[in-house]
Structure 1
Amino acid sequence: MTLTRRTLLASTMLLTAMGPAFAQDVAREDTVIFDLDRTIKDPENFNWFTAGTKREHGAHQAMWEPLFILNYTTGELDPWLATAITPNDDFSEWTMTLREGVEWSDGEAFNADDVVFTVNMVKGNEELSAREAAVVRTQVASVEKIDDLTVKFTLSEPNPRFPTENFGVRIFGSFLPMPEHVWSEVDNPATFAFYPPIGTGPYTYASGATNRMIWDRNDDWWGAKTGFRDLPEPQRLIWLETGGEESRAQLMATNQLDAAQNVSIGTFEAIRFQNPNVIGWFADYPYAWPDPCARQLEINTTVAPWDSAEMRQAVAAIINRNQIVNVAAEGATTASRTMFTEYGAMQPYIDAVIEAGHGVPAQPDVEAAKALIEGQGYTMGSDGFYEKDGEELSVDIHVNSASTEYTRTIDVIVEQLTRAGIKAKAVPVENGVFWGEVLPFGSYEMSYSWLACGSVNEPWTSMSRYTTASVVPVGERSPGFNNTARWDGPEAEAYTAIVDRMGDMAGDDPALPGMVAEAYGHLAEGVPFIPLVQSAKLLPMNTTYWTGWPTAENAYNHPAFWWGHTHQIIHNLEKAE
């Protein structure tokens, strides 16, 4: 990639357009600039409960603080606004202890009244439709204040994962309590803009526009006063819409950006050529951090000949994951070994599956695949394709055309299957059609997806997506995109029985790894999907002004700075010497 003079000019104009709030008051070396990958449609609306309202422009990374933060390395919930949450014997009630001394930025105390009020507000108003609000509305039957620092949740049904699912920033965000003394005065919470906003975090709102949001440090922050944390070193935080990969690359190369959104391997190397202070998650290949949604090939188990487990096993044996890594991903990811994302907290389960012999290899075994295909009555034709009863063995693979990552991966798989004797064809479809029609209604033979996404610190969330409870006929919408493969039958039933038992167990139960391996044996036999590679997020971090970014060597947590756990990143940043 060439970082052009035109791009440099555009980038300079972009920063200039931000006005004096950026150029003055706070020095560049005291400012952290984060990449924002989309326009802020309404910069004066901070009602995160409603559809379309942003949080990732700094609101839930700097101003609103979570109750807990899930540590992807340890699998534990790091306490933040809350210090503990404990269940009763059957996980139907949970009691949360809040941290003493927490204050909203206007000086009012944060306490149990805020938590109870916010939960009851979303329970009583379905127009508050944000995912986290909807989950709380479904899971919580009632909530009560025990005292100023204690809240009890009574659930609609037992759930051993309740704290992580709701309060731990498991993926992107978490349920965020709002100040009762502000929201209780509102007639309609669904139309309230909450502007100007307040939070408990160490930064307060300074200014905003459609292309940026600026936050300044609150030197009277409760955390420093109580000894919870020192004041973070950055005096100002900016989330800046960079306008795409080329522009963000130039800003990063010229030290006008400190943390960038995902870039290609070529762009990353071009940035580093101009600015050797830029780092990735890994110091060398694959550079990228694996995001929670590992990639896979979904197979519709109701469509012949792929309704045969042996034929699905054959396809799995043909896949060359290393080639996908090297060609489609240009080396910026790693081959998956199981359905799970390769996080530290998931290693006990990954290890158990591999030790039981159910892991998937990076290299193919085409001869074994051919033996399986021929065992189903197919013979190799003169044109190099298998045939049976006068029909060639073929498959259409649907792929979302929205990303070159998706289409390049399927192009590689198509070539692999073709060389092995299966006439494969990629069927690119528009994003809305793919997610609205193809996947949920089972309108495919095979497709590229990441539908096993979900498990980041425990195995049940991903594994539960393939139980028989979600099986519906082709043409009916799969609930929550679960088991769109329509996997059913004895193997699926045996798998489901084990996974259902896992769902009632605590996340730290020592029996879980063995149960995961046992269930995975049925999954490996049934092959409703084929794990491919880890999902790569190559996020450049600039150490010119700031050090302490999360890396594989300094994995205090992960680097997705648009998530609500970014408080940890900000508190770890130190001025470069």
Structure 2
Amino acid sequence: MLGANTMTDQLSWPVGPILLMLASLGLSFTMAQAAPPSETITFELSTPLEPKPNFNWLAPPAKINGVYPARREHGARQVLFEPLFHLNLETGELEPWLGLSIEPDAVQKVWTLKLRDGVVWSDTMPKKPKETAARRYPFTAADVVFTANMILANPNLSAYEASRFRAAVEKAEKIDDLTVRFTLRTPNPRFAIENFGDTAFGSLMIMPTHHWQKQNAETFAFDKPIGTGPYTLKEYTKDKVTYALDPGWWGAKAGFELPGAKPLPDGTIPKVKQPLPAELIWRYTEAAETRGLLPKKDVATLPGEDLKAEPEANVDPPPQPADWLDATRELSAEEAKLAVDAGGGKVVTWDSPDKPVWHTACARQLDINTQAKIVTQYTKPGEAPPDPVENPWSDHRLRKALAALIDRTALGQVYGFTDTTVDPPTTWFAATPSTTMFAAYGSMKPFIGAVKSANLEMSPGANSAAAEPLLADAEYAKNKDGNYAKDGKVLAATIAVIEGTPDAIAADVLKAQLDAAGIETTIDKQSNERYWGWAVPYGRYQMAYGWLSCGSLAEPYTSMKRYAYAPDAQNKDDPTFDNTGRWFVPATYKDAVAAMASLPLRDATGQANPALINKMLEAYKVLNDEMPFIPLVQTPRIIAFNETHWTGWPAPYNPGNAAPNNPDNPAHDWGSIHKILQRLTPSGP
């Protein structure tokens, strides 16, 4: 019998004759019906699906036509599975979901996890003789320990979350049905955030023991997946994945307080409830199709054409899409602005296009090779490498001068969309200038604020007055052509960047800034493979435009430790992406970061630990003095939402908003959808 988990792409039977045969036998056959658009939410996938269903998140998929297919983004992580906790990127709080609490011992090595009672999987146990209805399998500590031990025993389970967990954990033990004890290999105050935070860098998803215990974890496709989430798999095709609302979802029955929710007017906290959409769909579309699948206002022009044109008399308005998108993939600033303009008030983003845009966890920066001699000339395998050349940027004074010459606000404009048809030209969705090395989330405010208070932050604009004495101290002066030079040799910089990306466009603007300031600049646009496979990890660049401080979300150590990695510790044959500029790490920096490693993230009052902030500032002062890299801009991530059928999409918290606030992050390919769904309501007729 065809059930809810039917995989239609695997069916090849002629349906018509089967229906006729069933009718002739007096039997009926009901085809699965799609929910109407007003009861459905469709999320856009930017990468294709695998031909056959595979929900084994522990084993990364193989590339198809050079592209990794969507296995992590197609809804399972988002709504079928559930995280133990949610990391709130506004407050830095680790909010409870399947887990109630996770606390370390005094030395941060043994962590005790408490699970929520009453959680069940979506499938049922065999019914016992006296039972009137089958009971669902309970979610317990046994499932957590089973998943942990499966990962610990299987080094070939190479998903990032599995590898990270295996490196951190020595053993996992069940204490009782709702309690698990993790013993780490070394103390780590960030263990819970790193492994269970459910953000850009993933989260350990717990698998049902009763489905996995007899399987080979490396090859098991888990093609009929079971989770604890509010939706179950309805259909998988090569183009889309559909999930149906589970009427027996445990969360609606538990009715616990919605984590991170603002109090209602009566002072109570909203409770978790059954989500309202009957179905959720993740569908792959080509980028060129996206705006055509969003609503269009009542004009005769289509998105991207002259939006000011008036409709001609007796001309029908453009047809609305028959197959809506409710949430898009990541859009460029131009795509987003055109979609908002064409949507007639039905298409929204995190904030209005004139406000700072929501950004990813990986801010853009300029890494600088600090070695006295470097190799940057590309050679193919087997070719003899060229002789190293002198590198003036080994001088920290020049690096600090360079940082002062950059106009970050102007760089941020490059990531936006500038409308040149108006006077003056207006830029929409501009990137925010980075004033520190960190992603500028609310969860990082205590640390960003401390850097600012210590006067260690970057200026949004250029400051040539600060650069000139540094250049003079390094014995550089402008020649007759307006370029800085020393002993007749012009100060030059070559910046590696990945070709065909917004970063490459921004690098061109950076070149113009530095050329105008008197530094002769060349942009070396490289393929993705050359940039990440040949240049960056091996330190074969002079400067690299990228995002190599990525990591910290609610604490400073994760990003800062990347520059505590000594150059001589690099494996020459298999180097890391840490300290790729081969900065000779001063002992003061290394010691401060080492001290940060074992400090609790919060004090007894729940605030950011002052001792952690102080050590962070000690290390940050060294970075500011040495400048092995230069923070540039926050990296925009623009996702558009369609309010034709649903409202309450993520938006920044603003006490003046008339509508309920929804400050959850808008990245629907991360793990925030469980909270987003709790705030969505139908738009009405």
TM-score normalised according to structure 2 size: 0.78
The verdict on how the C-alpha distance between 1:50 and 1:438 changes in structure 2, with shifts beyond 3 A counting, is same
Tell me which residue corresponds to 2:593: 499
Q: Does 1:387 align with 2:455?
A: no
Q: CA deviation at 1:375?
A: 2.2
Tell me which residue corresponds to 2:43: 34
The verdict on how the C-alpha distance between 1:436 and 1:180 changes in structure 2, with shifts beyond 3 A counting, is same
Tell me which residue corresponds to 1:314: 401
Q: Aligned match of 1:427 in 512, 524, 543?
A: 524
Q: Aligned match of 2:647 in 534, 542, 547?
A: 547
Task: Return the letter of the residue paired with 1:447.
Answer: A
Q: Does 1:347 align with 2:445?
A: yes
Q: CA deviation at 1:128?
A: 1.1
Q: CA deviation at 1:465?
A: 1.0
| Structure-to-structure mapping, 1:36-115, within 5 angstroms | 36-52=45-61, 54-106=71-123, 107-115=136-144
Q: Tell me how far apart the structure 2 counterparts of residues 488 and 478 of structure 1 sit (CA, whole Å).
A: 19
Q: Aligned match of 1:220 in 224, 243, 248?
A: 248
Q: CA deviation at 1:519?
A: 2.0
Tell me which residue corresponds to 2:205: 176
Q: Does 1:239 align with 2:333?
A: no
Q: 1:46, 1:197 within 8 Å by CA — same for their partners in 2? A: yes
Task: Return the letter of the residue paired with 1:199.
Answer: G
Q: Tell me how far apart the structure 1 counterparts of residues 34 and 538 of structure 2 sit (CA, whole Å).
A: 55
Q: Tell me how far apart the structure 2 counterparts of residues 296 and 477 of structure 1 sit (CA, whole Å).
A: 26
Q: Does 1:138 align with 2:147?
A: no
Q: 1:72, 1:343 within 8 Å by CA — same for their partners in 2? A: yes
Q: CA deviation at 1:24?
A: 4.2
Tell me which residue corresponds to 1:305: 392
Q: 1:213, 1:240 within 8 Å by CA — same for their partners in 2? A: yes
Tell me which residue corresponds to 1:562: 669
Q: Aligned match of 1:291 in 353, 360, 365?
A: 360
Q: 1:164, 1:170 within 8 Å by CA — same for their partners in 2? A: no
Q: CA deviation at 1:122?
A: 1.1
Q: CA deviation at 1:287?
A: 5.4
Please, which moves more after superposition, 65-74 or 559-568?
Answer: 559-568
Q: CA deviation at 1:155?
A: 0.7
Q: Tell me how far apart the structure 2 counterparts of residues 82 and 175 of structure 1 sit (CA, whole Å).
A: 12
Q: Does 1:530 align with 2:558?
A: no
1:424 counterpart SS class: strand
Task: Return the letter of the residue paired with 2:93.
Answer: E
Tell me which residue corresponds to 1:10: none
Q: CA deviation at 1:456?
A: 1.1
Aligned residues: 552
Per-residue Cα deviation, 1:78-113 (whole angstroms, up to 9, x for no partner): 111110111111011011011111111002111011
Q: CA deviation at 1:227?
A: 2.3
Task: Return the letter of the residue paired with 2:275.
Answer: P
Per-residue Cα deviation, 1:163-222 (whole angstroms, up to 9, x for no partner): 111111142421111110111121x21111111111000100011122211000000111
Q: Tell me how far apart the structure 1 counterparts of residues 416 and 580 of structure 2 sit (CA, whole Å).
A: 26
Q: 1:286, 1:334 within 8 Å by CA — same for their partners in 2? A: no
Q: Does 1:162 align with 2:191?
A: yes
Q: Tell me how far apart the structure 2 counterparts of residues 338 and 558 of structure 1 sit (CA, whole Å).
A: 21
Q: Tell me how far apart the structure 2 counterparts of residues 343 and 521 of structure 1 sit (CA, whole Å).
A: 21
Q: 1:215, 1:237 within 8 Å by CA — same for their partners in 2? A: yes
Per-residue Cα deviation, 1:50-104 (whole angstroms, up to 9, x for no partner): 1127121000111000111101011011111110111111011011011111111
Please, which moves more after superposition, 112-121 or 516-525?
Answer: 516-525
2:568 counterpart SS class: coil
Please, which moves more after superposition, 156-165 or 47-56?
Answer: 47-56
Q: CA deviation at 1:477?
A: 6.2
Q: Tell me how far apart the structure 1 counterparts of residues 334 and 647 of structure 2 sit (CA, whole Å).
A: 24
Q: 1:297, 1:449 within 8 Å by CA — same for their partners in 2? A: yes
Q: Does 1:512 align with 2:612?
A: yes
| Structure-to-structure mapping, 1:374-413, within 5 angstroms | 374-403=472-501, 405-413=502-510
Q: CA deviation at 1:225?
A: 2.1
Larger RCO (CA under 8 A, 6+ residues apart)? 1
Q: 1:88, 1:94 within 8 Å by CA — same for their partners in 2? A: yes
Task: Return the letter of the residue paired with 1:561.
Answer: H
Per-residue Cα deviation, 1:462-494 (whole angstroms, up to 9, x for no partner): 111111x342389936854111122225xx321
Q: Tell me how far apart the structure 2 counterparts of residues 472 and 542 of structure 1 sit (CA, whole Å).
A: 52
Q: 1:472, 1:478 within 8 Å by CA — same for their partners in 2? A: no
Q: Does 1:461 align with 2:461?
A: no
Please list every run of 5 or more consecutive structure 1 residues that lacks an aligned counterpart in the other structure.
Answer: 1-18
2:414 counterpart SS class: helix
Q: Does 1:151 align with 2:180?
A: yes
Per-residue Cα deviation, 1:291-334 (whole angstroms, up to 9, x for no partner): 11010011011142111110001100110111112234344211
Q: Does 1:575 align with 2:682?
A: yes
Q: CA deviation at 1:273?
A: 1.8
Task: Return the letter of the residue paired with 2:416.
Answer: A
Q: Tell me how far apart the structure 2 counterparts of residues 154 and 374 of structure 1 sit (CA, whole Å).
A: 55
The verdict on how the C-alpha distance between 1:57 and 1:172 changes in structure 2, with shifts beyond 3 A counting, is farther
Q: 1:71, 1:556 within 8 Å by CA — same for their partners in 2? A: no
Q: Tell me how far apart the structure 1 counterparts of residues 528 and 166 of structure 2 sit (CA, whole Å).
A: 30
Tell me which residue corresponds to 1:252: 294
Q: CA deviation at 1:546?
A: 0.9
Q: 1:328, 1:412 within 8 Å by CA — same for their partners in 2? A: no
Bigger Rg, structure 1 or 2? 2
Q: Aligned match of 2:239 in 211, 215, 224?
A: 211
Q: 2:662, 2:679 within 8 Å by CA — same for their partners in 1? A: no
Q: Tell me how far apart the structure 2 counterparts of residues 24 and 288 of structure 1 sit (CA, whole Å).
A: 39
Q: 1:336, 1:532 within 8 Å by CA — same for their partners in 2? A: yes
Tell me which residue corresponds to 2:227: 199
Task: Return the letter of the residue paired with 1:542.
Answer: N
Per-residue Cα deviation, 1:4-30 (whole angstroms, up to 9, x for no partner): xxxxxxxxxxxxxxx9x9994311011
Q: 1:260, 1:541 within 8 Å by CA — same for their partners in 2? A: yes
1:427 counterpart SS class: strand
Q: CA deviation at 1:555?
A: 4.7
Q: Aligned match of 1:264 in 316, 329, 332?
A: 332
The verdict on how the C-alpha distance between 1:470 and 1:574 changes in structure 2, with shifts beyond 3 A counting, is farther
Q: Tell me how far apart the structure 1 counterparts of residues 252 and 414 of structure 2 sit (CA, whole Å).
A: 49
Q: 1:318, 1:366 within 8 Å by CA — same for their partners in 2? A: yes
Please, which moves more after superposition, 260-269 or 322-331?
Answer: 322-331
Q: CA deviation at 1:224?
A: 1.5
Q: 2:199, 2:671 within 8 Å by CA — same for their partners in 1? A: no
Q: Tell me how far apart the structure 2 counterparts of residues 309 and 55 of structure 1 sit (CA, whole Å).
A: 42
Task: Return the letter of the residue paired with 1:370.
Answer: E
Tell me which residue corresponds to 2:464: 366
TM-score normalised according to structure 1 size: 0.92
1:472 counterpart SS class: helix
1:105 counterpart SS class: strand
Q: CA deviation at 1:565?
A: 2.5
The verdict on how the C-alpha distance between 1:287 and 1:277 changes in structure 2, with shifts beyond 3 A counting, is farther
1:306 counterpart SS class: helix
Provide the identity percentage.
Answer: 41
1:440 counterpart SS class: coil
Q: CA deviation at 1:416?
A: 0.9
Q: CA deviation at 1:505?
A: 0.7
